[in-house]
């Protein structure tokens, strides 16, 4: 920006989303592990817009809670009737009246717009435009409003398709909906908009002609069609997910992550990678995951809410649930589940094991089939396994319990009491043998079967 300018972003989030066929408000449906509203608010923050107003429908406390969680200083307004986009913006009249330099109108169901594009809209205002409308060249313009320009490229009007002439419908420069207005004039212009159109609604797009009538210039800011994809149903939600995943994969690979089959890997908007991470095919990463340098995530693993240190190895077919924290060079193998547990440097949990609510010491070895029994039906309890401890295969550790450093637990044990450091604990039934029993059993059963 040439000079500091204050800004208000009005995020329209009042749509019912009936085509989503869902009890969840449309704007709270997720793309790349983050609600569509969250994506828009993240772009607003990236564009350094200082004040945010959310316009929502009546009774939508869930939208208010999400908005305030994401942007604690946001103001919320209710659009009690749905009479068009200009009417929706005016629901935040009280905020607009403060007279910001820049007024941004954004849509909570257009989740892929970047902070850079919002900055471009603001830049057009800083250069003297009264209105800047976001546009795109549509492969198929059917259904979109058209941006009409004069011979010099200045924006003359935005025409909704139902109100457009045949000549205007041939235009492929389409309206993305997002707009920036001179904040000092916006309230006056918005108040002059009428509803003499095919829908009988108050169109925000008419503000272009209001600005021009006041002697102000209107400009078009171009974006890619994929960036301005609006989501109205689950088909479009899947399209937005595909675009978001493509972006995330490209960004990760550009930052030093290797993906053997990128199209099979699914990331989250907040995933953090170190350098030289390797992701094998069919890895799914949910919210809240950090992966350190040179770590390998083997095929068919699922991570969510997990912190993984450098030089670790995960999977294949491993599941890291929220609260899993793996230190440097830790190893979690196939068919292992880790939940709310710390696995220290060099510890190994190689296969067929559940570790929940536990602390695993450095260089400990957890044998196949081990279970930390952490839940009694009412409360969760913690298991502590010391460094260099060895837990034999098919053992059950009944929490709360501590296995001391360097201790061994014999295979097949059910451990209910603490084990001291460097001790051997064996907790299983004594083996008994009856010579010839099996041969006699087979003979008796064979005779019974023959008689039947």
CATH classification of the domain holding 396: 2.160.10.10
264/413 same-domain check: yes
pLDDT of res. 261: 98
Q: Look at the chain and report how many structural domains it folds into.
A: 2
CA distance 248 to 299: 19
| Contact criterion met (CB below 8 Å) for 95 and 89 | no
pLDDT digits (tens, 9 = 90+) for 15-63: 888 899 999 999 999 999 999 999 999 999 999 999 999 999 999 999 9
Give a yes or no: residue 54 inside a domain. yes
Domain check: are 222 and 243 in the same one?
no
Is residue 39 flagged as an active site residue?
A: no
What is the model's pLDDT at position 403? Answer: 98
Residues 224 and 240 in one domain: no
CA distance 411 to 404: 17
- 103 and 185, same domain (yes or no): yes
Q: Are 103 and 96 in contact (CB under 8 A)?
A: yes
Do 138 and 209 lie in one domain? The reply is: yes
Tokens (6 digits) for 128: 């003297």
Residue 258 clears pLDDT 90, i.e. is over it: yes
pLDDT digits (tens, 9 = 90+) for 99-157: 999 999 999 999 999 999 999 999 999 999 999 999 999 999 998 999 999 988 899 99
Q: Is 333 within a domain?
A: yes
Residue 49: give the domain boundaries.
7-228
Helices (H), 99-233: 115-126, 166-169, 186-191, 207-213
**How much is the average pLDDT of 221-243?**
96
In this structure, are 99 and 31 located in the same domain?
yes
| Residue position matching structure tokens 């004039």 | 185
Backbone torsions φ then ψ of 10, nearest 5 degrees: -100, 120
Q: pLDDT, tens digit, for every residue of 286-344?
A: 999 999 999 999 999 999 999 999 999 999 999 999 999 999 999 999 999 999 999 99
User: Does the predicted TM-score (pTM) go above 0.75?
Assistant: yes
If pLDDT is split at 50, 70 and 90, which confidence band does 1 have? very low
Has residue 436 been placed in a domain?
Answer: no
Whether residue 416 contacts residue 401, with contact meaning beta carbons closer than 8 Å, is answered with: yes
Q: 2 pLDDT exceeds 80? A: no
* 49 and 95 part of one domain: yes
Check 29, 87, 302, 351 and give the catalytic one: 351
Identify whether residues 291 and 161 lie together within a single domain: no
Average pLDDT, the chain: 95
* CB contact set of 208 (below 8 Å; sequence gap of 6+): 131, 133, 155, 156, 157, 158, 218
Q: Which residues are annotated as a binding site for acetyl-CoA?
A: 368, 374-375, 393, 411, 428
Q: What pLDDT does residue 447 have?
A: 95
Annotated binding site: 12-15, 26, 79, 84-85, 109, 145, 160, 175, 232, 321, 339, 354, 365, 368, 374-375, 393, 411, 428
Residue 253 lies in a domain: yes
**Taking Cα atoms as reference points, which of 308, 363, 310, 299 lies closest to residue 335?**
299
Label residue 114 exposed, middle or buried (CB < 10 Å: 0-12, 13-18, 19+): middle
Q: Point out the domain boundary residue: 204, 228, 252.
A: 228
């Amino acid at each position: 920006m040439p000079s500091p300018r204050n800004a208000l972003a009005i995020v329209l989030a009042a749509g019912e989303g009936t085509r989503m066929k869902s009890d969840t408000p449309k704007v709270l449906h997720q793309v790349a592990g983050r609600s569509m509203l969250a994506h828009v608010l993240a772009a607003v923050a990236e564009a350094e817009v200082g004040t945010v107003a959310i316009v929502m429908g009546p009774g939508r406390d869930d939208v208010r809670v999400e908005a305030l969680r994401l942007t604690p200083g946001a103001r919320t307004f209710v659009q009690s009737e749905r009479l068009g986009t200009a009417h929706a913006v005016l629901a935040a009249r009280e905020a607009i009246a403060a007279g910001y330099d820049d007024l941004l109108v954004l849509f909570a169901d257009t989740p892929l717009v970047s902070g850079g594009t919002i900055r471009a809209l603001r830049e057009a205002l800083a250069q003297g435009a009264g209105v800047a409308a976001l546009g795109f060249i549509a492969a198929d313009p059917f259904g979109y409003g058209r941006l009409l320009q004069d011979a010099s490229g200045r924006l003359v009007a935005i025409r909704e398709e139902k109100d457009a002439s045949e000549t205007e419908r041939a235009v492929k420069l389409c309206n993305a909906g997002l707009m920036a207005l001179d904040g000092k004039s916006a309230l006056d212009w918005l108040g002059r908009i009428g509803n003499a159109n095919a829908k009988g609604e108050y169109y925000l797009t008419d503000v272009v002609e209001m600005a021009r009538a006041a002697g102000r210039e209107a400009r078009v800011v171009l974006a890619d069609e994929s960036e301005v994809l609006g989501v109205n149903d689950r088909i479009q939600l899947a399209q937005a997910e595909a675009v978001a995943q493509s972006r995330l994969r490209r960004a990760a690979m550009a930052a030093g992550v290797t993906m053997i089959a990128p199209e099979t890997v699914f990331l989250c908007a907040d995933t953090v990678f170190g350098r030289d991470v390797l992701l094998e095919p069919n890895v799914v990463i949910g919210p809240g995951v950090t992966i350190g340098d040179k770590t390998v995530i083997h095929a068919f693993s699922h991570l969510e809410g997990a912190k993984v240190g450098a030089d670790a190895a995960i999977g294949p077919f491993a599941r890291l649930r929220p609260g899993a924290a793996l230190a440097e060079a830790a190893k979690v193998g196939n068919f292992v589940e880790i939940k709310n547990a710390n696995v220290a440097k060099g510890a190994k949990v190689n296969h067929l094991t559940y570790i929940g609510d536990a602390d695993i010491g450095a260089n400990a070895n957890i044998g196949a089939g081990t279970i930390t029994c952490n839940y009694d039906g009412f409360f969760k309890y913690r298991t502590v396994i010391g460094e260099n401890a060895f837990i034999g295969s098919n053992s059950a550790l009944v929490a709360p319990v501590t296995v001391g450093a360097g201790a061994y637990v014999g295979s097949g044990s059910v451990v209910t009491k603490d084990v001291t450091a460097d001790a051997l604990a064996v907790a299983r039934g004594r083996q008994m043998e009856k010579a010839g029993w099996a041969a006699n059993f087979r003979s008796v059963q064979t005779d019974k079967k023959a008689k039947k």
